Amino acid sequence: PPLAGASPGALNPFDRRLKRKQKNWAALQAEPAKCDYLREEVGGRIADRVFDITRTFPLALDVGSGRGYIAQHLTKETVEKLIQVDIAENALKNAIESEIPTIKVVADEEFLPFKEDTFDLVVSSLRYNVISQPCPVCVCVLQIHQVLKPDGVFIGAMFGGDTLYELRCSLQLAELEREGGFSPHVSPFTAVADLGHLLSRAGFNTLTVDTDEIQVNYPGLFEVMEDLQGKYILCMGESNCSWNRKPLLHRETMLAAAAIYQEMYGNSNGSVPATFQIYYMIGWKYHESQAKPAQRGSATVSFGDLAKIEGLLKRGKK
């Protein structure tokens, strides 16, 4: 199917064709292992969550797999067969070897080419940060719910709303001062309050959402920007692809931003931090065998009785 967001408009804030070019370019960079340590770290943490589920998954799907950052941490005792999907064919060609039998499919993550009730497990690492549809029920999550079998589980991770807040704030303040206004230079991220609602509206239940932060220190803003272009952002293919993106930053603005960054967020040793906030989400597709909440009003103990427990314990000691 055609790439979503192929033309600008009110309901398409991102350029999906540019996103594909960015990811293909990133996958061809030399020594990608030096650029992927953040994605590999998050992939390992997603794999840990898969291991926490005491079952074997006959067929799993990795949405936006990239070079296989999750697959390298999984074992064939946990996942018997894995299908890797990515919008960038170059990323799949340079995939990291895994002990799990894999099938690679080039497809847009927003248009999954699979039948309903196909997979026992769906995982996704840092791929659903740029989502075109701002509707209450995200099309991407709906499609994941569709391709899952009943009692299947979705485990994903995405950048949180506070990611790179130091850099974004410094650039905005510098642009306001030097140019009288600012435009986005990093793609916007999702707020944690939206994730639970998003998964619930898509049909998932037994939801779990937690957040974590990974902080990396740099000598200064210019080193942050260089690392983002060469490592996190471009090698992960996550450069800003908003339709209203600004093509460049003026030298005076960059110097002002560097000074603001150091003044507001600098460490005592002269370095500056860059924070990556990660949201992890787990949701299950409904099946009648799953545990169900008790009917409303069926409780036999009131929360008010909890206040009496301390008194009862003191009596027992006496």
Does some domain include residue 99?
yes
CA distances from 102 to 25, 74, 111, 285 (A): 23, 12, 20, 24
pLDDT per position as a tens digit, 82-140: 999 988 888 788 888 889 999 999 988 778 999 999 999 999 988 765 444 444 346 78
Q: What pLDDT shows up at residue 126?
A: 84
Q: What pLDDT shows up at residue 5?
A: 39
Does some domain include residue 223?
no
Residue 245 has pLDDT above 70, yes or no: no
To which H or E segment does residue 208 belong?
Answer: strand 204-218
What pairing do the DSSP bridges indicate for beta strands 60-63 and 82-86? Answer: parallel
Does some domain include residue 197?
yes
Q: What pLDDT shows up at residue 318?
A: 63
pLDDT per position as a tens digit, 17-40: 666 666 666 666 666 556 677 888
Residue 21 neighbours by CB distance under 10 Å: 15
Does some domain include residue 251?
no
pLDDT per position as a tens digit, 46-90: 999 999 999 999 999 999 888 899 999 999 999 999 999 988 888
Does some domain include residue 310?
no
Higher-confidence position of 141 and 237: 141
* CATH number of the domain enclosing 76: 3.40.50.150
Does some domain include residue 269?
no
Residue 157 backbone phi and psi in degrees, to 5: -140, 145
Report the amino acid identity of residue 224: V
Residue 16 to residue 147: CA distance in whole angstroms: 22
Task: State the total domains in the chain.
Answer: 1
Is the CB of residue 220 less than 8 Å from the CB of residue 254? no
Does some domain include residue 144?
yes
Question: pLDDT-derived band of residue 188, with 50, 70 and 90 as boundaries?
Answer: low
pTM attached to this predicted model? 0.77
Residue 155 has pLDDT above 80, yes or no: yes
Residue 206 backbone phi and psi in degrees, to 5: 50, 60
Q: What pLDDT shows up at residue 186?
A: 62
Residue 318 to residue 74: CA distance in whole angstroms: 54
Residue 193 makes CB contacts below 8 A (sequence gap 6+) with none
Q: Residue 16: which of 126, 93, 107 has the closest Cα?
A: 107
CA distances from 67 to 92, 147, 163, 279 (A): 6, 22, 23, 21
Is the CB of residue 22 less than 8 Å from the CB of residue 239? yes
Q: Which domain holds residue 50?
A: 16-162+188-217+275-291
Does some domain include residue 225?
no
